[in-house]
Structure 1
Amino acid sequence: MRVLLVDDHPLFRQALAATVRQIAPEHSIEHYDTLGEARAALGAGEDALVLLDLKLPDSHGISGLLGLKAQAPAATVAIVSASDDHETVQTAQACGASGFISKAVSVEELAAAIETLLAGAEWFTETGPDHGRAPLTTAQARIVEGVHRGLMNKQIAYEMGISEATVKYHLTGIFRKMGVQTRAQLLTLARD
């Protein structure tokens, strides 16, 4: 399995790589400074583990996760971030992340998280009570990614091969799941 480390801080990437090598030396480890580099290297049907920072030079917030999941739905994407408040963790989970690791965790917890993710299970740093936000479906994640790119409903429908009415139906469900009422609020949540 390939492990893609996507973080613009070289020292943190090195620490992640050392932890992965210690747990699973047989895995291929790749380092990327930007989301664009990682997306270019990741195949659509590829079974890879991506450890993704939320703040990159070319991506800020959950939009990077949405783009990766839309491009490579088979990939396991876990967020590794210093922005580890409860809302951010829950939003990442709702948007399809398989895990969330706080950059403030101990080396032991980091190792446990990576080992769990490599085994195919989810790992979420405990940040407080679970408010039960339901995860987005693959179609909903693709629609949010389209909204983030500035596409109109008609354009999203064309790209996905569905009707504009279906896009509107999904947007209603997305608004409910994400606790927003408008497209602008959804964009703000995705960017934050």
Structure 2
Amino acid sequence: MSQPTLLVADDHPLFRAAMLHVLRERFTQYATLEAASAAAVSSTLQAHPQVELVLLDLTMPGVRGFSTLLHVRGEYPHIPVAIISSNDHPRVIRRAQQFGAAGFIPKSASGQDIADAVAAVLDGGSWFPPMAAERSQADADLAARLAQLTPQQFRVLLCLADGLLNKQIAHELGLAENTVKVHVTAILKKLGCYTRTQAAVLVKSLENDQEA
């Protein structure tokens, strides 16, 4: 049986190395992997089904706010995701929680706090810093609407948000153009949108607009 594994997804080599050091010292029974982009997260999870926790930065290349969190949660619902971020604004922490994160670890956290957070999530619990932000009904509604999408539909939605045409999306995702049209119709219906532009605006709202 493959060794259970922790995936650190962050594009800063020094911080990634620091995280890996903490994990290897505290969680000796786990192997570790690293990724520096959203694309690398996807390919790593596909290649390594033994991953049991993703530690995910919000500002890597290819990451659009909380889109990668939602994508991983949709495609791999059995794998918990803990956000690691230098932006620990209460609103950002609350949004991470509402969009399905099992934890939120500020990059300013001590090694002990990082280890405690990871341990809590691996034990099936959660770990978040104290939050002053109120739960947002708008975010709850958005999360519920996005949760209706299949993983493939979510990938198509992200392409829509980048302004790609159906033909371009088909090429990007290796799909038939007619299949893309079917997905787009389903996406708009599930999200309650009338146009591609409205759907793109929803994706835009996943981005972090709060200053730390």
User: By how many angstroms is 1:169 displaced?
Assistant: 6.4
Give the number of the structure whose alpha-carbon radius of gyration is greater: 2
Where 1:149 maps in the other structure, the secondary structure is: helix
When residues 90 and 76 of structure 1 are mapped into structure 2, their CA distance, relative to the original with a 3 A threshold, is same
Residue number in structure 2 paired with 1:150: 160
Paired positions, count: 179
Q: TM-score, normalised by structure 2?
A: 0.70
Q: Which amino acid aligns with 1:18?
A: H
Query: Counterparts of 1:1-192 in structure 2 under 5 Å?
Result: 1-43=4-46, 48-131=52-135, 133=137, 134=140, 136=144, 138-139=147-148, 142=151, 146-150=156-160, 158-159=182-183, 164=186, 170-172=190-192, 183-192=199-208
When residues 42 and 107 of structure 1 are mapped into structure 2, their CA distance, relative to the original with a 3 A threshold, is same
CA distance in 1: counterparts of 2:106 and 2:135, whole angstroms:
19
When residues 145 and 90 of structure 1 are mapped into structure 2, their CA distance, relative to the original with a 3 A threshold, is farther
Q: Which amino acid aligns with 1:48?
A: E
Q: TM-score, normalised by structure 1?
A: 0.76
Q: Which amino acid aligns with 2:41?
A: A
Give me the identity figure in percent: 27
When residues 156 and 94 of structure 1 are mapped into structure 2, their CA distance, relative to the original with a 3 A threshold, is farther
User: By how many angstroms is 1:108 displaced?
Assistant: 2.2
Where 1:30 maps in the other structure, the secondary structure is: strand
When residues 10 and 47 of structure 1 are mapped into structure 2, their CA distance, relative to the original with a 3 A threshold, is closer
Moved more, 120-129 or 18-27: 120-129
Q: Which runs of 5+ in 1 are unaligned?
A: 173-181
